[in-house]
Amino acid sequence: MKGIRAEMKLAPNLFKNPELKATRAGFGSAMTALGESDENVVALCADLSGSLKLGDFISKWPDRFFQSGVAEQNMVNMAVGLALSGKIPFATSFGVFMPMRTLDQIRISVCYNNANVKLAASHTGITVGPDGATHQVLEDIAVMRVLPKMKVIVPADAVETEKATISAAKIDGPVYLRFGRQNAPVYTTKDTPFEIGKINKLRDGKDVAIVACGVMVYISLLAAEELSKNGIEASVLNCHTIKPIDSEALIKAAKECGAVVTAEEHQKSGGLGSAVAEVLVESESVPMEIIGIEDRFGESGESDELMEKYGLTSTNIVKAVKNVLKRK
């Protein structure tokens, strides 16, 4: 495993049939852990508690779960009322419904109040698959990260999701957590560091820095392996926190590598790539490519088919790296 940084404590079977699990599964186990450790943690869900893996929390603490029905706007503001009363509410749904339907509530009541509300959205991105475009939220990172006081976290795998959820409960103020529906490799371990706002550099390489979030982090590692065979060494940065973004690590990577490629399961505009570009144009302008969805809606299909059709594979990353290196 050339270049993989030992201090990241990634799973030894990183590239050999890693366990597959949806990131949302890590959310369910984190909620159970939080339920045990802090009686102020409460959960709300808009008729999707199974999908959000809240079953265990609900059976253990039925009084601390508020089934909110198909009424997301009310759910978010109930969470605000709970937060303003000292609770740590996790409001949960699919990303297409929350945050997308509830932007006004999130802007005025969550953020302007600086209410201690955690928004946990599952079934985000194109990997939602057969449900099609209506259910594939590709704009949420952009919309959430422009809101003052909001923090935005996109965990890379189920283990990191668990850490992100627990960390979110421990800080004061609004946090948006983004999860996926589809099984994905689990390759971070309980010993992998996690701190909100701190990039994890998973792989060392001097030629290019690949900055990714969510499912694209693993795909970036695969791309780095492929590039290495062609004599190109890539750093891979897991930028799980889109906001506040780790400017220091990004600038350092840009200086060291002189070229950057970003990858996200989200529209190209406004997401991780934009956030990285905003940092770099002001301090360390280097050639950059952004991999994401090209200003269009998704469609029905299997996750891997969609990832391929919409340009989110390791092959796309390899190609982007080769392009960016020409501009170096």
Q: Which alpha helices (H) appear in the chain, and where do they start and end? A: 23-37, 55-60, 72-83, 103-104, 140-145, 158-170, 216-229, 247-257, 272-283, 303-309, 314-326
State in Å, rounded, how far the first CA of the chain is from the last one: 27
What residue type is 233 in one-letter code?
Answer: E
Binding other proteins (rule: CB under 8 A), the pick from 8, 79, 216, 321 is 79
Q: What are the DSSP calls for 223-280, one per residue?
A: HHHHHHHTT--EEEEE--EEES--HHHHHHHHHHHS-EEEEEEEESSSSHHHHHHHHH
DSSP 301: S
- What is the side-by-side strand order in the sheet with 41-45? 65-67, 41-45, 88-94, 118-122, 175-178, 151-153, 241-243
* Site for other proteins contains 200 (CB under 8 A): no
**Among the residue ranges 82-90, 124-132, 219-227, 268-276, the one whose residues contact other proteins (CB under 8 A):** 82-90
Binding other proteins (rule: CB under 8 A), the pick from 53, 87, 135, 268 is 87
Binding other proteins (rule: CB under 8 A), the pick from 56, 104, 278, 294 is 104
Please identify, using beta-carbon distances, which residue of 79 and 143 lies nearer to other proteins: 79
* Site for other proteins contains 116 (CB under 8 A): no
Considering the complex, what minimum distance in angstroms separates the CB of residue 81 from other proteins?
Answer: 2
Q: Tell me which residues in 124-163 interact with other proteins (CB under 8 A).
A: none
Query: In the beta sheet, which residues pair with residue 235?
Result: 209
- What is the side-by-side strand order in the sheet with 260-267? 200-203, 234-238, 208-212, 260-267, 288-293
Please identify, using beta-carbon distances, which residue of 11 and 84 lies nearer to other proteins: 84
What residue type is 207 in one-letter code?
Answer: D
**Among the residue ranges 80-88, 156-164, 189-197, 201-209, the one whose residues contact other proteins (CB under 8 A):** 80-88
Binding other proteins (rule: CB under 8 A), the pick from 8, 34, 42, 153 is 42
Given 7, 39, 72, 160, which residue is catalytic? 72
Q: Tell me which residues in 45-74 interact with other proteins (CB under 8 A).
A: 63-64, 66, 68-69, 71, 73-74
CA gap 91, 183 in Å, rounded: 23
Residue 72 known to be catalytic: yes
* Site for other proteins contains 82 (CB under 8 A): yes
Please choose, from the candidates 303, 314, 274, the residue with its C-alpha nearest in 3D space to the C-alpha of residue 123.
Answer: 303
* Site for other proteins contains 269 (CB under 8 A): no
239 near 213, Cβ under 8 Å? yes
Kind of pairing, strands 118-122 and 88-94?
A: parallel
Please identify, using beta-carbon distances, which residue of 76 and 234 lies nearer to other proteins: 76
Considering the complex, what minimum distance in angstroms separates the CB of residue 114 from other proteins?
Answer: 6
Binding other proteins (rule: CB under 8 A), the pick from 4, 58, 84, 279 is 84
Considering the complex, what minimum distance in angstroms separates the CB of residue 24 from other proteins?
Answer: 24
Give me the active site residues, please.
Answer: 72
**Interface residue list for other proteins (CB under 8 A):** 42, 63-64, 66, 68-69, 71, 73-74, 76-87, 89, 104-105, 107-109, 112-114
